[in-house]
Chain A
Amino acid sequence: MAERLLMMALSPTMSEGTIVKWKVAEGSAFAAGSVLCEVETDKASMDYEATKDAVLLKILLPEGGKASVGDPIAVIGKAGEDPGPLAAAAPGIASRPPAAAAPGPVPVLPRAPSFAPEPSAPIAPPRVPTAAAEGMKRPSAPSSFPPSSPLARALARELGVDLRSARGSGPGGRVVERDVRALAELGPQAARGAAAATGPRATAPDQAADRRVPVTGKRAVIARRLSESFFVAPHYYLKRRVDAGPVMALRATANAGRQKPISLNAFLIKLSAEAIVRHPYVNSTWEGATILERSSIDIGLAVDLPDGLITPVVRDCARKGVAAIDEELSALIAKARERGLAPSEYEGPGFTISNLGSFGVEEFTAIINPPGSAILALGAAVAEPFVRDDGTVGVRRAMALTLGCDHRVIDGAAGARFLATLVSLIEEPGKALL
């Protein structure tokens, strides 16, 4: 009998996909294993392979159309069968096809239909503007993928591993088989994708009050990258309290008369960049056999969004003024809130700042954001008594700085030297001009 063909997760982090091209025409038969269509995922174009022999009765999602994992994209069945009701009815749990036909790694939960085709017009409009889909039609890996061997790519697909989080240990930093295998072992989450596709499914959601929520692509990426960082990079932390008064005063002066005030974060990014200029080893990446010393000081700032954290990156901060950094930062944050960032806007920071001061957190430790080797956690600036050099007691606005370092790259004393410079720049921002 006819059944719906669902968008399946072609990679573990894929939450939705865009049909680039249908390879089978309506009314045509196809065999198990043949390619039905080409799907653009969050990372690459992938082939959607048939899991059984059947006939493509009706295409529900045309080329350029986007669907979430679990949404129907076509109706398949026997030759001559009427796709009618299936092509029209809204997808729901009652009509969910058997597991074998929907080999997605995430349980298909009841979800509001993302589009509700009318019986007379079963072809849904694409959810993304055509121009955007056109722009995504690059046939192979986007440039943010590291160089990799063909076997590494085949294996990554097989094991459901995200190549972008692999560190290449092959010639010229190429990702090779062992890197993919290491990554698959590291994150069961990552390795599970393909295997779970045919494995046991979660219990039906109405059986208990507990709820299993499918992991979104973004959440999976956060989980994997931070687990990898935390379990692989030997972290240690250095704490200093700094008098934030001078930099806050400077900010107040700079903002006087400005329509749009410059954020404190922009000042701290700039001062961190200046400290990195004086200690360039902080801005580097452990690569196994080599350490990459970055030429550009690219600093990420952790930003809280409803669907999880994102770290927009301001490039080349050493060469930019505080105002330029602030402008770029606020544009990136606005874009992240509205439509999400392109990989080039959040990938590859050499240093990251996380500021939880606005939540009242006084001090905390953060997990290093790869590929950087250090992260600066900023607490709230709070008034506290302190003893001046002359022995008298005063009040200052103190802020806790906690620097998390990857010991493979930055030794304790080296981290401490960097932190000392940063403290002195924050307390005497004028020094940054020197």
Chain B
Amino acid sequence: MPEREYDVVIIGAGPGGYVCAIRAAQLGLSVAVVEKEAPGGVCLNIGCIPSKALIHQASLFTEGRAALESAGAKVDLAGFDYGKPWKQSRDAADRLSKGVRFLLKKNKIDYVEGSARLDGPRKVEVSAAAGPAGQSRSEPVSLAAKAVVVATGSRPKELPGFAFDEKMILSSTGFLLSRDLPKRLAILGAGAIGMETAYIAGAFGVETTVVELMDRILPIEDEESAALVASAFAKRGAKLLTGIAAQGFSKKGEGLELRLKAKDGTESSLAADRLLVSVGRSPNTGGLGLEEAGVRLEKGFVAVGDYQESSVSGIYAIGDIVATPLLAHVASKEGEIAAERIAQTLKGAPPPNERGVDPLRVPSAVYCEPELGSFGLAEAKAKAEGRTVGTARFPYVGVGKAVAIGSPGGQAKILYDPRTRAILGATIVGAGATELVHELLLAARSELLLDDVADMIHAHPTLSELIMEGARAGLGRAIHI
């Protein structure tokens, strides 16, 4: 078997792995990245990117139709084919995946196709990747490395009794890859993936029901803000069943019937054509030879210390296989940190600015309608800890631009320290929320105070005025309310 030598070998070319590879190459390291599927990982191919393409299409579809109808035009939906917006989502994914391939090539990174397995801490064995029609696409190869970065990501979590067949019982992958929509869709789990899928399906006319075990949707987000999202869904006619467990299902005709049980013991059933199970994601840490190499796992995740280094010196882990939030942007940041640390160790480059990702400084984004963007301390957690926090709110209806573009729903909610007026966290629900939240995150990260945000001139009319007014509200001097 041929053997090649690199400074760094990265396993996985998702948003963690490919960013890590490029950063390492920038720092003058020789890099190989091993991928068994397509470059860009789940995010680009079967996650964030195609889903955002579909959400955008869904929103144009609903808003375009509403705008035409409100202008008195008659809209004829005859000939509507979900396959067309779906095709666009696939094109966007393919285009970006090719973009990653180009970036890797541009940075002189060797892209190795195949499945990787650690052989001790300094060697990665790559088995041949299967090409179309079972032909071998590449030769097995052995890669020697001074450092290894494991970035193998995660897969949809399977719920016992609801094994994915990707025909009737779908994972998010199955949903994003199917070119047609069912008439009735049931969704288990009201997290970000569940709610985003519910929005897409609902917008294209699918009868959608979301079933959530917890008492509310988006359980990791601010309760009050999640309730605003829930009421917008309810207004559009989506069914959100919270505090309800799915007990099992039986096939019925072409579709299925879900057995549900409420907390008070009440049983009911729900008929649907397909079921999406979106109850979280599981880290891909098996079959890589990690434990054989001495890498310590905790609850399925790789345990890491500073700079993403695992219990074995020279083996790093980033992204969804680490117990930080399972988000593409967290993986990318961890990839940069690991790459800079390796360059420091091998080449004496300056150390990374940060030792790891601070969960309180990670933005979270839910792209349904209305959007939700958040970061930082949660109000419920602050209360549970008996910590005194100030809460400032400002509604979109007080922002001229929001009213002008017909999106007056939602609010910005900012948590701050009443003594120093430091910004501790924020949740924004409404138009452009996932973009707007970054101004507050930058302010919090830079240790700016409410005053700094309130006193900065914001262009009028913009949605960003919401942030300025929210900060003013915390100082008791909001103007437009």
* Chain A hits for B351, CB < 8 A: 289
How many residue-residue contacts, CB under 8 A, span A and B? 28
* Chain A hits for B422, CB < 8 A: 151, 154-155, 177
* B353 and A177 contacting across the interface, CB-CB below 8 Å: no
- How many A residues, CB 8 Å from partner? 12
* A150 and B353 contacting across the interface, CB-CB below 8 Å: no
* B449 and A151 contacting across the interface, CB-CB below 8 Å: yes
How does the 8 Å CB contact mask read for B381-422 relative to A, with 1 for contact and 0 for none?
000000000000000000000000000000000000001111
A158 beta carbon closer than 8 Å to chain B: yes
CA distance A289 to B355 in the complex (A): 12
Question: Chain A nearest CB: distance from B66 CB in Å?
Answer: 43
* Chain B hits for A154, CB < 8 A: 420-422, 449
B214 beta carbon closer than 8 Å to chain A: no
How does the 8 Å CB contact mask read for A264-304 relative to B, with 1 for contact and 0 for none?
00000000000000000000000001000000000000000
* Chain A hits for B449, CB < 8 A: 150-151, 154
* Chain B hits for A170, CB < 8 A: 447
Which residue of B353, B448, B452 is within 8 Å of A171 (Cβ)? B353
A152 beta carbon closer than 8 Å to chain B: yes
CA distance A236 to B448 in the complex (A): 40
* B419 and A176 contacting across the interface, CB-CB below 8 Å: no
CA distance A17 to B448 in the complex (A): 28
Q: List residues of chain A with CB under 8 Å of any chain B CB.
A: 149-152, 154-155, 158, 170-171, 176-177, 289
* Chain B hits for A151, CB < 8 A: 420, 422, 447-449
Which residue of A149, A158, A289 is within 8 Å of B447 (Cβ)? A149
B446 beta carbon closer than 8 Å to chain A: yes
Residues of chain B in range 316-367 having any CB-CB distance to chain A below 8 Å: 351, 353
Nearest B residue to A152, CB-CB: B447
B63 beta carbon closer than 8 Å to chain A: no
B180 beta carbon closer than 8 Å to chain A: no
* Chain B hits for A152, CB < 8 A: 447
Question: Chain B nearest CB: distance from A66 CB in Å?
Answer: 30
Nearest A residue to B353, CB-CB: A171
CA distance A158 to B448 in the complex (A): 16
Residues of chain B in range 428-447 having any CB-CB distance to chain A below 8 Å: 446-447
* Chain B hits for A177, CB < 8 A: 422, 447
* B420 and A155 contacting across the interface, CB-CB below 8 Å: yes
Which residue of A150, A155, A158, A289 is within 8 Å of B452 (Cβ)? A150
Nearest B residue to A176, CB-CB: B447
B69 beta carbon closer than 8 Å to chain A: no
How does the 8 Å CB contact mask read for B40-71 relative to A, with 1 for contact and 0 for none?
00000000000000000000000000000000
B306 beta carbon closer than 8 Å to chain A: no
* Chain B hits for A155, CB < 8 A: 420, 422
Nearest A residue to B451, CB-CB: A150
Question: Chain B nearest CB: distance from A278 CB in Å?
Answer: 26
* Chain A hits for B452, CB < 8 A: 150
Question: Chain B nearest CB: distance from A91 CB in Å?
Answer: 32
Question: Chain B nearest CB: distance from A290 CB in Å?
Answer: 9
22 A-B interface contacts by CB (under 8 A): A149-B447, A150-B448, A150-B449, A150-B451, A150-B452, A151-B420, A151-B422, A151-B447, A151-B448, A151-B449, A152-B447, A154-B420, A154-B422, A155-B420, A155-B422, A158-B419, A158-B420, A170-B447, A171-B353, A176-B447, A177-B447, A289-B351
Residues of chain B in range 74-107 having any CB-CB distance to chain A below 8 Å: none
Nearest A residue to B423, CB-CB: A151
* Chain A hits for B419, CB < 8 A: 158
Question: Chain B nearest CB: distance from A170 CB in Å?
Answer: 8
Question: Chain B nearest CB: distance from A161 CB in Å?
Answer: 13
* A149 and B446 contacting across the interface, CB-CB below 8 Å: yes
